[in-house]
Amino acid sequence: MFCLDKRKIFLLYQYYLLGEVREFTDQKLKNQERIAWLNNCQKKEKYLREKVDENLKEGWHFSHLPPLEKAILISGVYELLWKNGNRPNN
């Protein structure tokens, strides 16, 4: 079952908007899990971007999308590929 985690999307949004993610002041377990998730997304970012680019309308490119759309698309592709037991080689 897919569950939208708005905080994960917010982390990716910060990453695409600011080029960095500000540290959390409270390091609760959920925040640590989200940061680990973000790190995994960043490690797989090239692969994820390629998957998004392959499915965008002709003439559209990931690099030209606004930060929020980038965050939503990367989050969705990551969750679809890795959360449901599918494990691409990258």
For the chain, counts of helices (H) and of strands (E): 4, 0
User: Total structural domains in the chain?
Assistant: 1
Whether residue 88 is predicted with pLDDT greater than 80 in this model: the reply is no
Domain carrying residue 39? 6-16+29-83
Q: What is the pLDDT of residues 8-61, one digit of tens each?
A: 888 888 888 888 777 655 567 677 888 888 888 888 989 999 999 999 999 898
Residue type, 38: L
**Which ranges constitute the DSSP H helices of 1-90?**
6-18, 29-43, 45-55, 67-78
Higher pLDDT pick, 78 / 82? 78
How far apart CA 3 and CA 66 sit, in angstroms, is 23
Whether residue 4 is predicted with pLDDT greater than 80 in this model: the reply is no
On whether residue 67 sits in a domain, the answer given is: yes
Under the banding of pLDDT at 50, 70 and 90, the label for residue 1 is: very low
How far apart CA 32 and CA 30 sit, in angstroms, is 5
On whether residue 88 sits in a domain, the answer given is: no
How far apart CA 4 and CA 11 sit, in angstroms, is 13
